[in-house]
Structure 1
Amino acid sequence: MPSYKYDLLVIGSGPAGEGAAITSAKAGMKVGVIESYSMVGGNCTHKGTIPSKSLRHVVKQIIRFNSNPLFHRAGKALWPSYPEVLKQAEQVIPRQVDMRSEFYVHNRIHLHIGVASFEDANTIIVKTGEGAVEKISADKIIIATGSRPYNPQNVDFSHERVYDSDSILSMQHTPQTLIIYGAGVIGCEYASIFSGLGVKVDLINNRDRLLSFLDDEISDALSYHLRVGGVTVRHDEVYKSVEATDEGVTMVMESGKRIHADALLWCNGRTGNTDSLALESIGLNADHRGQLSVNEHYETDVENIFAIGDVVGWPSLASASYDQGRSVARYICGENSRFITEAPTGIYTLPEISSIGKTENELTAAKVPYEVGRAFFKDTARAQISGESVGMLKILFHADSLQILGIHCFGAEASEIIHIGQAVMSQEGEANSLKYFVRTTFNYPTMAEAYRVAALDGLNRVNRF
């Protein structure tokens, strides 16, 4: 049995594991990484963020083509099949794998392909796909194994018409109708994608509104545009059973409704990938969703073992996972680190959503005197030129000090636009003020100019110029 010894061993090569491994290697540590896929990148690259956002991009191009009479003057819209769209979207994955593989080579990080399990707190056993076994020891170990879709036992996911957010990326037909159960971020994103392909979607939400963590105005806008796109949103519904046959899928609801479709996409929750790690051998216990508890340094209850990324739960974002990886590596190397508590929300629906800071409901509950400045994209030159007229930038600010308290964006490039406001909010004193946006010259025409328009709107509300 081959054996290896490292200063640091990282289990998982997704965003969290990659951030930790590279940061530690650059600090001079001898680092090894274990990955269960045959290639690096983790679920983010192969099943999650990269393929789903690439799929969204292709669908957005189709929508723009079909909405522009210049490109189909004969009146023939473009309706490619789902497998054709998927094939186009998949082209980015090998480029991501090649790039990330180079990171490990350049930083002299040894990669082990196989399934990891603990023998003790300093020793990992890796079983490779060829049946070989490796023993790896390390002073410090980071669990960054990510997550997978939660699959309830009373739903037959082996059926050819029943999918989750991983298996939907291998579907080889185009349904005319689709049930999406779960109206969280992933469910809403796929509802946008499939409705953009002309599929009639029933989006089942077990709550009373979509994405209730968002500002109400943004959540309402999302609901409106999903419905305009042909999505039927059903709130306060919980499934009772799922019946799948060769002809289609029927979801029976606790309310008594029976919803029929060609296929079912399950998007209700995720589970941490900890069940194969043999955590009991080191005295660690994951919760019912496979997640681990950590302290402010991402340490588990075992002193030399850390956990980061989706396996620790919130915020379960690729962006935050990268930062968690870098932060825990800095802590292990004896440098200053931080616990990631503030990250912008990026939701890649059509149109997309991004936000940071407080919502109106939160500020009202806290009795903070705030005001609102808005800029509607339809009124900005760049949006009119590019045809991206749907959307709004909304700035919440203190009515007296003009301090920025929250920024919420709905529409084209929202996840890019938000970072301008994020940078201003991170400043101290007067630098974090609504007046920054009116004292700064923005390129014209740009989407970023919406900040100036929203700031002027807000200042008019409080009679400040």
Structure 2
Amino acid sequence: MPDPRLRATAAQHELRSVRMSRYDVVVIGAGPAGEGAAMKLVKEGRRVAVVDQLGEVGGNCAHVGTIPSKALRQTVYNLMRFRRDPLLSRTAEIRSVPLSQVLARAHKVIELQVGTHHRFFERNDVDLYYGEARFEDGNTVSVLTSEGVSERIGFEHAVIATGSRPYQPKDIDFTHPRVFDSDKILQLDYPVQKLIIYGAGVIGCEYASIFVGLGYKVDLVNTQPQLLSYLDDEIADALSHYLRDLGVLIRNQEEYERVETFDDHVVLHLKSGKKIKGDAILWCNGRAGNTETLGLDAVGLQANSRGQIAVDDQYRTAVPHVFAVGDVIGPPALASAAYDQGRCAAAHITGSADVPHVDDVPTGIYTIPEISCLGKTEKQLTDARVPYEVGQAFFRHLARAQISGDTVGMLKILFHRETREILGIHCFGNNAAEIVHIGQAVMNLPGNSIDYFANTTFNYPTMAEAYRVAALNGLNRLF
């Protein structure tokens, strides 16, 4: 049975519509995917309207996701680095820092990012509408503003880029002040000694490393046999070892039965019979596409059970003139990929030829320290019976890492034994998300070969030198 609130919203859209504006393309969502589509379209001479429900550009990426969490991570990383420096830790004492103070820097970064992206839209003459978008039919969208005014937008093409939100099981009370999801956790405003994190995907692992760095006790409950099982096994094992070393208690292959809430604590009941008590719980188990208020049936579309929209390799939905990009279509659900997906969809709308599909996207995981990878894992190559070899460089052996104190981590290069083609780059350690792009560039070169790194002179001391060390290590294994 349809939600009566959605029926009321639909009625408001219908009854309060006052005028119609016409555009070549309407883009629903002003996050990375929507911005990528809009900028490409206006450069190609199309008249574009962008609609966003938040009342500001940037999407969840800027306001509650990528930007604030990574700014928080950087501040926590700086605190951890300060504490482990033998000279600085003797000359100054750092006690527990309230989360509200740590988040102050994140809020400043959000303001800067929103201002920057707003200027992009402004300079490119993109019309911005703030409100809830809903399809009236195959060529009309209504936008209901917070003031209750509804405007109608006519379009030839539409791009759905509404993003996603944390998935919330109906049997858990997310209105309780001690129950959080990954959007709400940044509003935590009371002291916490022990935090339960349910779900050990990217977001769960990132927040586990952040909160243990702030001095919290953290129980990380993982429904899978190991952390981030899609990573190379050695990298996933290294992350598990390091989180445990920091003090995170990882509980693998556990599923929740129920969450019991009290005024001063919560209790997570697991199907295995275990009970975990904490001051608060952070739910990080999956995300859902933001499609429930779009009125997709009016345009002839339907989302799956997680609110996601199916698309082809051109990001075209089942309705030929409607496209969908970003988190709303599911994995990889990365801001970097979303922006390029938006550009790709826009290129197909304008009839551009030879538009590459967005694939081979590097994974960036902002745990402390970071993880980033591209290409095949050892398991994938073994299963495919590809004759590969491994080159490794451990950061503890690099002069630059010893100088900075960031000695945890490694760079791993997988390459073909016969052709020497680089097949995979896997990095765990500080600045891994930056380091991986050197390997990405070489992998995309004609004549991609591990010999490039062995024969190239790198600045010394640098972290980039890890490529040369790993290349020589791998080539020495050949016979």
Q: Pairwise mapping of residues 200-279 of structure 1 onto structure 2 (< 5 A)? A: 200-279=217-296
Return the alpha-carbon distance in structure 2 between the equivalents of residues 169 and 3 of structure 1: 39
Comparing 71-80 with 302-311, greater Cα deviation is found at 71-80
Counterpart of 1:90 in 2: which secondary structure?
helix
**Alpha-carbon displacement from aligned partner over 1:401-445 (angstroms, at most 9, x marks no partner):** 1110101000011000001111111123xx311100012111111
Return the alpha-carbon distance in structure 1 between the equivalents of residues 92 and 51 of structure 2: 53
Match of 1:358 in 2: 376
Which one-letter code corresponds to 1:460 in the other structure? Answer: N
**Deviation, structure 1 residue 78:** 3.6
Q: Which of 91, 108, 111 is the equivalent residue of 1:94?
A: 111
Q: Is the counterpart of residue 406 in structure 1 residue 424 in structure 2?
A: yes
Identity of aligned residues (%): 56
**Contact conserved, 1:378 with 1:390, CA < 8 A, in 2?**
yes
Counterpart of 2:119 in 1: which secondary structure?
helix
**Deviation, structure 1 residue 2:** 2.7
Return the alpha-carbon distance in structure 2 between the equivalents of residues 98 and 355 of structure 1: 31
TM-score, normalisation: structure 1:
0.98
Q: Is the counterpart of residue 55 in structure 1 residue 83 in structure 2?
A: no
Match of 1:116 in 2: 133
Structure 1: tracts of 5 or more residues without a match: none
Q: Is the counterpart of residue 322 in structure 1 residue 336 in structure 2?
A: no
Which one-letter code corresponds to 1:48 in the other structure? Answer: G
Return the alpha-carbon distance in structure 1 between the equivalents of residues 472 and 330 of structure 2: 39
**Deviation, structure 1 residue 75:** 6.5
Match of 1:139 in 2: 156
**Deviation, structure 1 residue 74:** 5.2
Which one-letter code corresponds to 1:356 in the other structure? Answer: L
Cα-Cα RMSD: 0.9
Q: Which of 330, 342, 353 is the equivalent residue of 1:313?
A: 330
Q: Is the counterpart of residue 156 in structure 1 residue 173 in structure 2?
A: yes
Which one-letter code corresponds to 1:165 in the other structure? Answer: S
Counterpart of 2:413 in 1: which secondary structure?
strand
Comparing 379-388 with 113-122, greater Cα deviation is found at 379-388
Match of 2:15 in 1: none
**Contact conserved, 1:65 with 1:78, CA < 8 A, in 2?**
no
Return the alpha-carbon distance in structure 2 between the equivalents of residues 168 and 462 of structure 1: 50
**Deviation, structure 1 residue 79:** 2.1
Q: Is the counterpart of residue 456 in structure 1 residue 472 in structure 2?
A: yes
Return the alpha-carbon distance in structure 2 between the equivalents of residues 25 and 138 of structure 1: 14
Structure 2: tracts of 5 or more residues without a match: 1-17
Match of 1:437 in 2: 453
Return the alpha-carbon distance in structure 2 between the equivalents of residues 72 and 387 of structure 1: 13
Match of 1:22 in 2: 39
Return the alpha-carbon distance in structure 2 between the equivalents of residues 195 and 90 of structure 1: 21
Q: Which of 361, 373, 381 is the equivalent residue of 1:343?
A: 361
Match of 1:185 in 2: 202
Match of 1:377 in 2: 395
Which one-letter code corresponds to 2:42 in the other structure? Answer: A
Which one-letter code corresponds to 1:43 in the other structure? Answer: N
Return the alpha-carbon distance in structure 2 between the equivalents of residues 69 and 357 of structure 1: 38
Return the alpha-carbon distance in structure 1 between the equivalents of residues 264 and 155 of structure 2: 53
Report runs of 4+ in structure 1 exceeding 4 Å deviation: none
Which one-letter code corresponds to 1:35 in the other structure? Answer: D
**Deviation, structure 1 residue 164:** 0.1
Q: Which of 34, 49, 55 is the equivalent residue of 2:51?
A: 34
Q: Is the counterpart of residue 103 in structure 1 residue 143 in structure 2?
A: no
Match of 2:5 in 1: none
Return the alpha-carbon distance in structure 2 between the equivalents of residues 374 and 74 of structure 1: 37
Counterpart of 1:453 in 2: which secondary structure?
helix
Match of 1:447 in 2: 463
Return the alpha-carbon distance in structure 1 between the equivalents of residues 306 and 230 of structure 2: 21
**Alpha-carbon displacement from aligned partner over 1:70-101 (angstroms, at most 9, x marks no partner):** 22325733421111111222210010011000
Which one-letter code corresponds to 1:380 in the other structure? Answer: L
